[in-house]
């Protein structure tokens, strides 16, 4: 713990340190001195530039005001228009979490508002944006994130100590094992091992496999994986095929940190709670219950994009925007001191979209890249987005004009918001006037988007901050939250219904199919990838009847596909992404694609970049250096 001694040495005489400790990758100084707490920024800057670690100064319990007094003072310091909703005091961490509608009004110019709060209360403020839409499940997720600060402090400290353990001096080797998601779309999971570290990236389910079957889950029983020995888990983004098995890791004995962005954390909570609910409603047993989700959340650490975080004695993690869904990350691991750099893309989109910025290519070094291949096949060329929009809108208007309903199956997160954003523009221009119903967790996901505008495209960010033309809070946009509301959507006039699940494998879309599929006036428009084996793929391929809840339903509605909304990169975009990386990789592994696409992409990249590429299968282990 040389580092801590170093910090101590550089602290000014008036620092009055009560505790000096690691909290995960950061160093936190708890002080008894008002003067040091309020005016330490120069001293901290000096220390940070010396040790290259983040340092946070917090008040000790001797220093901060009693929460009742502090509450009054903080409320006085916050302008009315900030829309203060809640103050949550966490004495063990010296922190007060301030939840408000307009954080900018609280933070003030160059943080002057925060300093005012510090001065008035002697607490360390952390401001969070309240979603602009009411959602029970988002509220539940946000409650979980602030539970049990005493445990959290202890946990972060233990993680911090473990990260600084002495490195052994043996051979330096790195290997990576595919536990799921290789030559398939679904159950993504990779294990990275070095002499020092065992780190798991993603743990999802395969939505196209029989629930509860081995094929549904990654190979978490692989001989090289012992959950108790795992040092860290990283989650790229909160789609079911990447995140649904994360709580299971905690149920089965994993006890360490989970790294992901804040929106990914919140979205994972929502998705996994929903996963349990759907499993119950379909009489399948979910492999865990909500206590496992809670366990995961309490141990989640949420770096910002671009923040370099030590996660084990020989690994540094950086998450950067993947452009796929809100909070989605490219995962960069720096191993050893310059030994090797791994870029695991998760799912990524190297194209502008309505909601997000394109994936970030700014990585100093990448030796091995693991890329998704969803649309990486030889002939995969995405239609330009404008064409997809045109096709969607013309099919939609045709259907609405003849009095029909448009059903759009979509994942709660991602495509739903893309389609909604496009429809909001149309509503703005008065190009159509019908209701847009959102069923399943889409409305909850929207609520979450409004809480993290900084993760969105500039255009949508501006709209949310301006409020009046936010796509999420328009009058014609109707969340479906009850049986009656669903009835209204089904029996009312022409409308667009965006509903989960995205591949028609369960969820509310089934009710709509049951009632609406046999009417030829209606239309189902696919805007997302339909995996082999899913009902969505069967309908897309022209099935003339389907079975819903044990009932045979004829499919007479029109079927259309508007591709081009993809949240994934196509073949050429993947090639361009690799070429535009600041440092191009010397080895690429392909995953997350149908078998032939993984092989074809490996071959394309080999030819385009003249590098070593392969398409490993599940349970392969590959040495990287």
Q: Please give the Cα distance from 105 to 81 (Å, whole number).
A: 7
Nearer to Zn ion, 314 or 360 (CB): 360
Does the protein bind Zn ion through residue 187 (CB under 5 A)? no
* CA nearest to 360, candidates 305, 419, 422: 305
Part of the chain binding Zn ion (CB under 5 A), chosen from 5-13, 96-104, 235-243, 572-580: 235-243
Nearer to Zn ion, 125 or 327 (CB): 327
Q: Please give the Cα distance from 71 to 96 (Å, whole number).
A: 9
- Structure-token pair, residue 367: 């030796």
Q: Please give the Cα distance from 586 to 158 (Å, whole number).
A: 36
Instruction: Please state, as a whole number, how many other Cβ atoms lie within 10 Å of the Cβ of residue 466.
Output: 9
Instruction: Please state, as a whole number, how many other Cβ atoms lie within 10 Å of the Cβ of residue 190.
Output: 26
Residue 237 CB, nearest approach to Zn ion (Å): 6
Under rule CB under 5 A, which residues in 341-360 are in contact with Zn ion?
Answer: 347
Residue 246 CB, nearest approach to Zn ion (Å): 14
Burial class (CB in 10 A: 0-12, 13-18, 19+), 41: exposed
Nearer to Zn ion, 267 or 589 (CB): 267
Residue 501 CB, nearest approach to Zn ion (Å): 13
Number of Cα atoms under 13 Å in the Cβ half of residue 218: 38
Part of the chain binding Zn ion (CB under 5 A), chosen from 234-242, 293-301, 492-500, 501-509: 234-242
- Structure-token pair, residue 345: 């893309």
Nearer to Zn ion, 120 or 200 (CB): 200
Nearer to Zn ion, 239 or 478 (CB): 239
Residue 328 CB, nearest approach to Zn ion (Å): 7
Residue 479 CB, nearest approach to Zn ion (Å): 23
DSSP state of 380: -
Burial class (CB in 10 A: 0-12, 13-18, 19+), 597: buried
Q: Please give the Cα distance from 261 to 369 (Å, whole number).
A: 21
Does the protein bind Zn ion through residue 202 (CB under 5 A)? no
Contacts of 24 (CB under 8 A, 6+ apart): 156, 159, 160, 163, 257, 301, 309
Q: Which helix (H) or strand (E) holds 341?
A: strand 340-344
Nearer to Zn ion, 211 or 414 (CB): 414
Residue 347 CB, nearest approach to Zn ion (Å): 4
Residue 324 CB, nearest approach to Zn ion (Å): 6
Whose structure tokens read 């209606």? 522
Q: What are phi and psi of 231, to 5 degrees?
A: -90, -35
Nearer to Zn ion, 40 or 244 (CB): 244
Under rule CB under 5 A, which residues in 533-562 are in contact with Zn ion?
Answer: none
Nearer to Zn ion, 347 or 418 (CB): 347
Residue 496 CB, nearest approach to Zn ion (Å): 23
- The alpha carbon of 323 is separated from its chain's Cα centroid by a whole number of angstroms, namely 11
The count of residues interacting with Zn ion (CB under 5 A) is 2
Part of the chain binding Zn ion (CB under 5 A), chosen from 15-23, 239-247, 415-423, 530-538: 239-247
Nearer to Zn ion, 415 or 537 (CB): 415
Does the protein bind Zn ion through residue 239 (CB under 5 A)? yes
Q: First and final CA of the chain: distance in angstroms?
A: 30
Part of the chain binding Zn ion (CB under 5 A), chosen from 25-33, 339-347, 448-456, 510-518: 339-347
Part of the chain binding Zn ion (CB under 5 A), chosen from 8-16, 57-65, 145-153, 231-239: 231-239
Q: What residues does 97 pair with on adjacent strands?
A: 88, 126
Nearer to Zn ion, 183 or 239 (CB): 239
* CA nearest to 376, candidates 606, 564, 188, 596: 596
Nearer to Zn ion, 25 or 563 (CB): 563
The residue at minimum Cβ distance from Zn ion is 239
Site track 299-338 with Zn ion (rule: CB under 5 A), x = hit: ----------------------------------------
Under rule CB under 5 A, which residues in 432-461 are in contact with Zn ion?
Answer: none
Residue 238 CB, nearest approach to Zn ion (Å): 8
Nearer to Zn ion, 374 or 540 (CB): 374
Q: What are phi and psi of 96, to 5 degrees?
A: -120, 125
- Contact present, 420 and 549 (Cβ < 8 Å): no
Nearer to Zn ion, 239 or 486 (CB): 239
Own/partner contacts of 31-37, CB < 8 Å, gap of 24 or more, are 31/57, 31/58, 31/59, 31/60, 31/63, 32/60, 32/62, 32/63, 33/63, 34/63, 34/122, 36/12, 37/63, 37/118, 37/122
Measured CA to CA in angstroms, residue 310 lies from 52, 162, 331 at distances of: 11, 10, 13
Residue 239 CB, nearest approach to Zn ion (Å): 3
- Contact present, 469 and 463 (Cβ < 8 Å): yes
Residue 330 CB, nearest approach to Zn ion (Å): 13
Part of the chain binding Zn ion (CB under 5 A), chosen from 48-56, 237-245, 435-443, 582-590: 237-245
Residue 309 CB, nearest approach to Zn ion (Å): 23
Residue 346 CB, nearest approach to Zn ion (Å): 7
Please give the residue ranges that form the binding site for Zn ion (CB under 5 A): 239, 347
């Amino acid at each position: 713990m040389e580092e801590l001694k170093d910090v101590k040495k550089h602290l000014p005489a008036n620092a009055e340190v009560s505790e000096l400790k690691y909290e995960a990758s950061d160093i936190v100084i708890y002080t008894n001195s008002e003067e040091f707490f309020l005016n330490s920024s120069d001293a901290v800057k000096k220390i940070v530039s010396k040790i290259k670690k983040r340092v946070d100064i917090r008040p000790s319990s001797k220093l901060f005001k009693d929460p009742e007094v502090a509450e009054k003072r903080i409320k006085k310091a916050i302008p009315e228009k900030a829309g203060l909703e809640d103050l949550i005091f966490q004495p063990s961490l010296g922190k007060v979490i301030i939840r408000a509608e307009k954080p900018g009004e609280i933070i003030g110019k160059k943080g002057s508002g925060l300093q005012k709060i510090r001065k008035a209360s002697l607490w360390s403020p952390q401001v969070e944006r309240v979603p602009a839409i009411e959602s029970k499940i988002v509220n539940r997720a946000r409650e979980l994130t602030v539970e049990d600060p005493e445990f959290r402090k202890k946990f972060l400290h233990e993680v911090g100590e473990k990260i600084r353990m002495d490195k052994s001096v043996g051979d330096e080797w790195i290997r990576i094992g595919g536990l799921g998601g290789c030559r398939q779309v679904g159950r993504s999971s990779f294990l990275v091992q070095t002499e020092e570290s065992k780190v798991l990236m993603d743990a999802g389910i395969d939505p196209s496999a029989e629930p509860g079957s081995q094929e549904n889950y990654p190979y978490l029983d692989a001989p090289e994986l012992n959950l108790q020995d795992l040092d860290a888990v990283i989650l790229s983004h909160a789609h079911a095929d990447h995140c649904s098995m994360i709580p299971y890791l905690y149920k089965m004995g994993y006890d360490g940190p989970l790294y992901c962005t804040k929106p990914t954390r919140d979205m994972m909570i929502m998705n996994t709670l929903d996963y349990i609910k759907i499993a119950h409603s379909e009489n399948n047993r979910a492999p865990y219950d909500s206590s496992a989700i809670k366990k995961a959340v309490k141990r989640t650490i949420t770096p910002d994009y671009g923040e370099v975080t030590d996660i084990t004695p020989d690994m540094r993690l950086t998450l950067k925007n993947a452009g796929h869904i809100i909070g989605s990350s490219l995962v960069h691991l720096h191993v050893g001191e310059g030994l090797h750099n791994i870029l695991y893309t998760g799912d990524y989109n190297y194209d502008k979209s309505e909601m997000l910025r394109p994936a970030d290519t700014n990585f100093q070094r990448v030796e091995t890249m693991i890329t998704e291949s969803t649309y990486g096949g030889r002939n995969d060329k995405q239609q330009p987005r404008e064409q997809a929009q045109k096709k969607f809108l013309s099919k939609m208007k045709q259907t609405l004009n003849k009095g029909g309903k448009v059903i759009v199956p979509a994942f709660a997160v991602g495509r739903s918001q893309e389609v909604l954003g496009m429809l909001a523009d149309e509503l703005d221009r008065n190009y159509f006037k019908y209701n847009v119903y959102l069923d399943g967790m889409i409305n909850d996901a929207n609520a979450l988007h409004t809480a993290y505008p900084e993760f969105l495209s500039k255009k949508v960010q501006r709209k949310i901050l301006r409020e009046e033309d936010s796509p999420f809070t328009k009058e014609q946009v109707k969340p479906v939250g009850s049986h009656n509301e669903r009835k209204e959507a089904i029996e009312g006039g022409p409308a667009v219904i965006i509903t989960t699940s995205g591949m028609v494998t369960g969820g509310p879309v089934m009710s709509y199919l049951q009632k609406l599929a046999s009417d030829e006036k209606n239309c189902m428009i696919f805007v997302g990838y339909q995996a082999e084996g899913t009902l969505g793929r069967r309908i897309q391929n022209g099935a003339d009847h389907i079975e819903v809840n044990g009932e045979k339903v004829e499919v007479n509605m029109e079927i259309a596909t508007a591709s081009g909304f993809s949240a994934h990169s196509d073949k050429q975009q993947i090639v361009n992404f690799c070429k535009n990386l600041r440092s191009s990789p010397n080895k690429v592994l392909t995953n997350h694609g149908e078998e032939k696409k993984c092989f074809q992409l490996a071959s394309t990249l080999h030819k385009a970049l003249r590098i070593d590429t392969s398409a490993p299968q599940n349970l392969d282990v590959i040495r990287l250096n």
